[in-house]
Amino acid sequence: MLDDQQVRIDGHINALRTLPGALLPILHAIQDDLGYVPESSYPTIAHALNLSIAEVHGVVTFYHHFRTQPVGKHILHICRAESCKAMGADALEAYAKKTLGIDYHQTTADGAITLEPIYCLGNCACSPSIAVDERVLGRVDEKRLNQIIAKAREAA
């Protein structure tokens, strides 16, 4: 399993290393594939791009998008930005935390859902918005959130 992971990581690095500014494309490819960027990948990436491990670590941790730990089957992003706040995002956020029994950056005990804040999904004409994995959902109220959570659990 771990060897397989390393093989995949190597594959992504080799496919992208010659791009100018290759680090972000490589990190995206790894996270798209594995769901996160394992710290064990840093030495290989650093070596391929002629960087220090600390530099790779610095880049991974600078960006909110990259994760270094596996997450739940689905990620539920709640938009916390102004447009959604104007349409009740604060209450929706509190409701999501209460219903799931977790805070941001945590995963439900069944491993189904990780809760993350997000700052704007570009869906501000349909606030409040959330996203499940990559799918954005607009005008979400508590009832709709419950349906979405139930569906995510089913598909987990």
Partner 1 sequence: MSIKVYVPRDSSALSLGAHDVAAAISAEAQARQQDIQLIRNGSRGMFWLEPMVEVETAQGRVAYGPVTPDDVASLFEADFLHGGKHPLSLGLTAEIAWLKKQERLTFARVGITDPVSLDDYIAHDGYRGLHNALKLSAAEIVKQVTDSGLRGRGGAAFPTGIKWNTVLNAPAEQKYIVCNADEGDSGTYSDRMIMEGDPYVLIEGMTIAGLAVGATQGYIYLRSEYPDALHILNEAIDHAYHAGYLGENILGSGHRFDLEVRRAAGAYVCGEETSLLESLEGKRGLVRFKPPLPAIEGLFGKPTVVNNVISLATVPIILDKGGEFYRDFGMGRSRGTLPIQLAGNLKQCGLVEKAFGITLRELLEDFGGGSASGKPIRAVQVGGPLGAYLPESQFDTPMDYEKFSEIWAVLGHGGVVAFDTSVDMAKMARYAFEFCAIESCGKCTPCRIGSTRGMEVMDKVMSGQNKDENIALVRDLSDTMLNGSLCALGGMTPFPVLSAINHFPEDFGLDKAQVAK
Enumerate binding residues for partner 1 (CB under 8 A).
20-25, 27-28, 49, 58-59, 62-66, 81-87, 90, 118-127, 129, 131, 134-139
Which of 28/153 has CB closer to partner 1? 28
Q: How far apart are CA 131 and CA 80, in angstroms?
A: 12
Question: Shortest approach of partner 1 to residue 64 CB, angstroms?
Answer: 4
Question: Shortest approach of partner 1 to residue 100 CB, angstroms?
Answer: 21
Question: Shortest approach of partner 1 to residue 33 CB, angstroms?
Answer: 14
Q: How far apart are CA 88 and CA 128, in angstroms?
A: 7
Q: How far apart are CA 15 and CA 25, in angstroms?
A: 10
Which of 7/21 has CB closer to partner 1? 21
Cα-based distances in Å from 136 to 53, 91, 110, 154: 35, 19, 23, 19
Question: Shortest approach of partner 1 to residue 5 CB, angstroms?
Answer: 21
Which of 78/87 has CB closer to partner 1? 87
Q: How far apart are CA 16 and CA 105, in angstroms?
A: 30
Which of 8/49 has CB closer to partner 1? 49
Identify which of 60, 47, 37, 39 has the alpha carbon closest to the alpha carbon of residue 14: 47
